[in-house]
Amino acid sequence: MAEPRAALNLGAERATAPASARKASQVQRSRRPHIGMVLLPNPFCFSRRSFLQLSAGGLLLPPFMSGRAGAATEAGEVHGLSVFGDLALPADFPHFAYVNPNAPKGGQMVLQVSSTSGNQNFTTFNTLNAYILKGDGAAGMGLIFDTLMTGNADEPDSLYGLAARAVKVSADKSAYRFLLRKEARFHDGSPLSAEDVAFSLNVLRTKGHPSIRQALRDIDAAEAEADDIVLVKLKPHHSREAGLIVAGQPIFSAAYYKTREFDATTLEPPLGSGAYKVGRFDQGHFISFDRVPDYWGRDLPVNLGQANFDHVRFEYFADRKVAFEAFKAGIFTFREEFTSAVWATGYDFSAVKEGRVQRATLPDESPMGTQGWFLNMRRDKFKDPRIRQAVGLAFDFEWTNANIMYGVYSRTTSFFQNSPMAAQGKPSPEELALLEPYRGEIPAEAFGEVYAPPVSDGSGQDRELLRRANTLLMDAGCKRQGAALMLPDGKPFEIEFLDFDGALEPHTAPFIKNLKLLGIEARYRVVDAAQYKRRTDDFDYDVVTSRFGLGLTPGEGMRATFGSEAADLPGSRNVSGIKNKAVDALVEQALVAGTREQLTFICRAIDRILRASYPWVPMWNKPNHLVAYWDVFSRPERSGKYDIGVVNTWWYDDEKAKRINFVSR
């Protein structure tokens, strides 16, 4: 599946989508970047626990799960699945520890789209089908569909029964029999059956978004053995998490699609079975989801204390500044801030001073994501790694952080940033054993001290780094023609930074200035969101900004982000077009690793190869969430360890709303 895209940290990062597949499907395509804090997106995540990302995206895959089962509840049956078989909760757990099981229902939360999946984008929508490549999918569609299992925000890689009460896993992990709850129902009252599950898996792997199809590639067959038993057979040598990816897929009604084309773009609200259904919407402007009062699964342990709002509404804005003004006016009530300059200076309006708007820094123990400018290596100009490294040397992070981002960010260096999988120093013996078979085929630097971007002098124009960049360019065969730099083929060296809004322009401008000092004609181009999506789906760009996260148990997401096959899939998360046989082979080893220790060494080896290949210019990161909200909400004493859970665990507080005389818009 595709992962959700997350917002970039602007100042910030732009995100490329956390979310998890109900923890199961974590392929956030992107999140808003952090700008000064700008974050970027991840494509397809569906976990209940990632309700907020879900809301924006809604397609999930379990990037971190494995085919191992948890403790048996009865002979042959288990109540959950985890990557390495270490479920934290017993079969009779009452509810997740981070929820208020008695949270009141009511009110609404209104928020801006901050994460996308699959065919979604941040600024508009024209279809309610978010599971295919065509069209611009609406935010939040994952809220209306149930999955077989869902995740616990206190565990990095575990799923517990939702539509499935239990699962039987064959000894060789090649067959999963999901035992469905007989009370499961679609919103029209029809039973949710094994036929529906089998239909959903089969249609997604044949007609779904390319990233979803790739994630489901290990399915050999999905069939109904009985009304309440669905059998999923996996292909030989399937990935460790294949069974969990299956468990995290949305369940569609087979009867509903007998009279409709699954892969059609449409504004007809689809039939779901989840806690919400599609409510009012205005194409391209907003979409609202209404809580289903008689939702069949409302009292399940995995659902207690969640889905507390009567309405969840997503507002679309084409301009970030306009969106902030809308928040100040109370048009939407929750905002995650991705721009450090705004966080530092913008929250001085009256509602903040009077306490009607609150601000909070929420911790999150999950890796905060990898954000950078990704160079499209499908283009001849970026084929040579020396040229790619030279381009990276022109970015002065230290100056940018101090002068634009208020010094609050740290430099990103790894493709597994802020996780144990990030390589450090020289390779360990275990890492060397993994790298040795590819000596001569991968960069020699992968066998030495791991590459990290050099620290500049903070001047914004570090002459030593620019000299190094110039030497690399000359060694690669570039030549000067007056002030212009010519590529080895004699063409002028030009770079276009493509984006769908101008939030990162202040950060990119000094980068572009340094590139021009090297003779590279660089420009920053903003196009409308629909054109941006078309161009990125078709890989029609030089450089784009993206942010993704692979979680604490990287798995299928690596194949989608780094794999050679993904490099040619339209709409792929492999934005740089990475094609490396050694990386492919190591990813396949990672997908079947039997222990977390083995997985860690494999990921570190992958990280070394990728960092020595320079497919990107790494940006920045910050390990927490900066949020602002109108003081009309209450929340549990703590969030989950790996998800702040705003949409799914907070609730509307009538007393607070009355105290500040808040009127919902």
Domain assignment present for 463: yes
What element of type H or E holds 55?
Answer: helix 51-56
DSSP SS3 for 560: helix
Q: Is 276 helix (H, G, I), strand (E, B) or coil?
A: strand
**CA-closest candidate to residue 603, choices 616, 612, 593, 613:** 593
435 part of a folded domain: yes
- Residue 306 in any domain: the answer is no
Amino acid residing at 295: Y
The answer to whether residue 347 is domain-embedded is no
Q: Residue 534 domain-assigned?
A: yes
Alpha helices in 92-188 (DSSP H): none
Q: Which of 316, 314, 295 is nearest to 304 (CA)?
A: 295
- 530: in domain: yes
Sign of the dihedral defined by the CA atoms of residues 279, 314, 655, 51, in that order: positive
Which pLDDT value is given to residue 20?
32
CB-based contact 144:289 (threshold 8 Å): yes
Instruction: Give the 3-state DSSP-derived string for 417-473, with helices as H, strands as E and coil as C.
Output: CCCCCCCCCCCCHHHHHHHHHHECCECHHHHCCCCCCCCCCCCCCCHHHHHHHHHHH
Distance CA 199, CA 213 (A): 14
Strands 27-31 and 42-44: antiparallel
Q: Which two structure tokens, joined as six digits, stand for 165? A: 């009460």
Residue 18 near residue 27, CB atoms below 8 Å? no
Categorise residue 278: left if φ over 0, alpha if ψ from -120 to 50, beta otherwise: beta
Q: What pairs with residue 540 in β-bridges?
A: none
Structural domain containing residue 575: 370-621
For residue 35, what pLDDT is reported?
Answer: 47
Q: What is the CATH number of the domain that holds 608?
A: 3.10.105.10
CA dihedral for 113, 119, 125, 127, sign (positive or negative): negative
Alpha carbon distance 7, 350 (integer Å): 27
Domain count of the fold of the chain:
1
Partners of 616 in beta bridges: 374
Q: Is residue 183 assigned to a domain?
A: no
The pair of structure tokens assigned to 36 is 């000064």
Which residue ranges in the chain fall short of pLDDT 50?
1-5, 13-75
Distance CA 152, CA 30 (A): 22
* Contact present, 435 and 423 (Cβ < 8 Å): no
Residue 325, C-beta contacts closer than 8 angstroms, at least 6 positions apart: none
Q: Cβ(595)–Cβ(84) under 8 Å?
A: yes
44 within 8 A of 245, measured Cβ to Cβ:
no
- Work out the angle between the directed axes of helices 463-475 and 385-393 (0-180°, nearest 10): 160
Task: Please name every residue paired with 149 in a beta bridge, in sequence order, or none if there are none.
Answer: 161
What's the maximum distance between 2 C-alpha atoms anywhere in the chain?
78
In a domain, 259, yes or no: no
Give the type of residue at 599.
L
Q: What is the pLDDT of residues 186-203, one digit of tens each?
A: 999 999 999 999 999 999
pLDDT in the model for residue 665: 67
The C-alpha atoms of residue 380 and residue 255 are separated, in whole angstroms, by 49
Token pair for residue 96?
Answer: 């997740």
Q: What's the pLDDT at 59?
A: 38
- Four-CA torsion 166, 168, 172, 174, nearest 10 degrees: -80
Q: Do 339 and 12 form a contact (C-beta atoms < 8 A)? A: yes
**Radius of gyration in angstroms for the set of CA atoms belonging to the chain, rounded to a whole number:** 24
Helix axes 581-591, 596-611, angle to 10 degrees: 160
